[in-house]
Structure 1
Amino acid sequence: MGTHPHRRRFYLVCYDIADDDRREEVSDLLSGYGPRVQYSVFEAAVTGPEAYEELTRGLRGLIEQDEDQVRIYPLRVPDLDKVTVLGNRRLEERDDFWIL
């Protein structure tokens, strides 16, 4: 049983960016993939390996290898409904993200 080429895959993307301008650029890029869930954490949805490669290539182009770090954790779709959120604090979410 193969995977469907257009099945969405979900990732938790966390970053620590030393420079304010680079941090803003990374945030802007990630907002196109999904909602910000913490100040330096996004839930990203991508469709297929090409979209994932586009995401990682875009991030690599924005960060300074020796000063910044981005971590991308795959999320299993069956576990997404088991996420536990403690606390009611809400971040301002941008409405301009899209799913690739």
Structure 2
Amino acid sequence: MDQRLYIVAYDISDQGRWRRIFKLMKGYGEWVQLSVFQCRLTARQHAELIALLDGIINHDEDHIVLLDLGVADNVIPRVVSLGKAEFVTIEHEAVIV
């Protein structure tokens, strides 16, 4: 299962849409800060997430950026984190079926 590491950041103008995006993103990755998540996604999950986000946003008012950092198991993010929250890279977790 090839996963890539993504940073997803969004600027949503409507509070209701922002809450919908936030709830959706919690199912796909780890919350980093207010409107930023890091996600380990397969190609299928990535396509699914884009389709779901595309269906929620107002294309004239909102903006979402998905930054592809590369193959998740090979990426060693170099992050400067200032302030109270420490940035921790999302780890690969076993999936029990």
Q: TM-score range by the shorter chain?
A: 0.7 to 0.9
The alignment partner of 1:36 has SS state of strand
| Structure-2 separation of matches of 1:70 and 1:41 | 10
Structure 2 residue 50 is matched with structure 1 residue 32: no
Q: In structure 1, what is the Cα distance between the partners aligned to 2:68 and 2:45? A: 14
Q: Return the alpha-carbon distance in structure 1 between the equivalents of residues 10 and 2 of structure 2.
A: 25
- 1:36 Cα deviation (Å)? 1.1
Gaps in structure 1 of 5+ consecutive residues: 1-5, 91-98
Match of 1:94 in 2: none
Pair 1:8 & 2:40 matched: no
- CA offset at residue 82 of structure 1? 2.8
Give the structure-1-normalised TM-score: 0.75
TM-score (norm 2): 0.77
- Alpha-carbon RMSD: 1.8
The gaps in structure 2 that reach 5 residues or longer are: 87-94
Give, in angstroms, the shift of residue 81 of structure 1.
4.5
- Helix, strand or coil at the partner of 1:42: strand
The percent identity for this pair of structures is 35
Residue 89 of structure 1 is matched in structure 2 by 85
Change (3 A) 1:89 1:51: closer
Q: What's the CA shift string for 1:26-74, capped at 9, x where partnerless?
A: 0111111111111010001112x22111010010011000010000001
Q: Secondary structure of the residue that 1:80 maps to in structure 2? A: coil
Name the residue aligned to 1:69.
63
